[in-house]
Structure formats: structure tokens, C-alpha cells
A = this chain, B = another copy of it.
């Protein structure tokens, strides 16, 4: 699982910082999460192949998470894309993109599917053989979802020595990998756990931005491997965070702790501060495993 932060600063794009966008590579799928202005250039700078992105998830319709979407969709067309593109985001996103395409008289060269979200409960919005994506309802000034990306558990690993010892025919191997027991010709049942090893643990990633401190998300993201949680402010601006429905670094850490996350990544920093090291210090006073998100930084898990 690899996460590339294209942008993780709040509000407006600036000379050296970019609004929210990130790419999650999980089980060889590339998911684009949020799409602030300049995302397509950040994709280029980070050498991410446009053609590998088939799913774009938009948390909410604030500009710093959205305004790069129409440009990205248009550029995909200019490059002659033919593969389907799926966009997941709050109701209204379809009208917005279609109006822009209509006014610019430029249709896409590929099929564009919108999956508009309205539910206030967590729901599965994407599922294929290897990955499931669920929404994480967040509390912000407009309708907002985080997204939980989960690898499905893979096959169990065959215990080659054991299956040979029991002289089990290869025809049974797939059944064993799927967790099934095997009955030998003499009627003896061999339990699966004697014939296979546990699969490689499946990874999960939760993206939570933008949101006020909200313990209601904890049951949804419990035990997540990697939690990206917005930390717009430091503790000194805690009341501003509450007022604007954003979080502080300490609050992000408190969510990570209570949700038993393995790793916390901070981001969505207000640009009022000189540097971001203090976000890490404040979060680490609550939760030990803190990484600082930053534009152009990649993390592998």
C-alpha cells in the first residue's frame, strides 16, 4: 500500500503548497482522493500515470478539495483516454461537472460515471475482488465524507510440506487456500489450519478530511492500519478549530488513539504557521506513531 500526498494544505493553493489531493495505491489499484486546484500538475510532478486512475473520491465540495477536478477530467480527454472513469462525491458534483463540460462544449472521450453520495451513514461505495471502499461520515460545514479503503483478506497460504505429507491431490489446493478442510479417501478429515497458513494481513487506510473532532467515526475506522486525519490547527487555535469545524493535531491524535490506529498521518495544515514540525510534536504528546504529511511525500506500508 503506497500513499502519495499531492497536496495537504488548507484553503488556497500557494507558490509552494497545494490544496488537498492524494493518490492511494492499494492492490495495484490507483485511487485519487480529493482534487484541489493544481492536482493534475501535481500528478505530473509525482510521475503518476493519469491512465492508471479509474476512480476519484471527493470528500466534500469546498474548493480546496474540488477545483482541480474539472481540469483533470478535461485533460484526461485531451490525452485521448478511453477507459471508464468513476467519480464519487456529494450530490451536486454531477451537475457541476456536466455544466462545465456543456459550457466548454467539450465532452469526454471516455465514459464518465458519477456516484453521488447523500447518506449520513457509512456505506460501501466501491467493491471489487480485492478492495472495498466505505464512506466515513464526517462533521464539517458542508456534507462531507471520509473514505475507508480496505484490502480484502487474500487466500490462505498453502502449507506445501503438509499437503505433500497427506498426499493431497492438487485439485484440492484452491479449496484449502479458501479455508476448506479436506476429507481423505479413508474418511479422515484434515482441518484446514493443518494444511495452510494465515494469509498476509490485509491493509486498510482511512482518509478523514475535513472534520471537527468527532468520536462517532471511531467504530468505522477501528484498528485501521493508517489513518490520515486533518489537523488544520495547533492547540493554540483549538477554539477556532471548533468554530470552523476543523481539528487540531492533538484531536487527530486522540482519534487515532481511541480508534487503535497503527499509524497517524497529519495534514490539511493552515498556512498561518511557520513550518509543520509543531503539529507532530503536539500529536505525539497523545499518540506515538505520527507521520507528517507533506506535498510530494510518499509513504509505503
Contacts and interface: CB of A to CB of B under 8 A. Distances in A.
Nearest to A65: B104
Nearest to A67: B71
A236 interface: no
A100 interface: yes
Nearest to A93: B103
Nearest to A17: B41
A105 interface: yes
B103 A96 contact: yes
Contacts of A103: 61, 92-93, 95-96
A293 interface: no
A103 B40 CA distance: 22
23 contacts: A11-B75, A12-B74, A12-B78, A12-B79, A13-B40, A14-B41, A14-B44, A37-B38, A37-B71, A38-B38, A61-B104, A62-B106, A63-B70, A63-B71, A63-B104, A63-B106, A67-B67, A67-B71, A92-B103, A93-B103, A96-B99, A96-B100, A104-B142
Contacts of A15: 41, 44-45
Tallying the copies of this chain within the complex gives 2
B63 A11 contact: no
A151 to B, nearest CB: 32
Nearest to A95: B99
A270 to B, nearest CB: 11
A44 B78 CA distance: 28
Contacts of A93: 103
A67 B100 CA distance: 9
A10 B78 CA distance: 11
A241 interface: no
A44 B14 CA distance: 7
A68 interface: yes
A194 interface: no
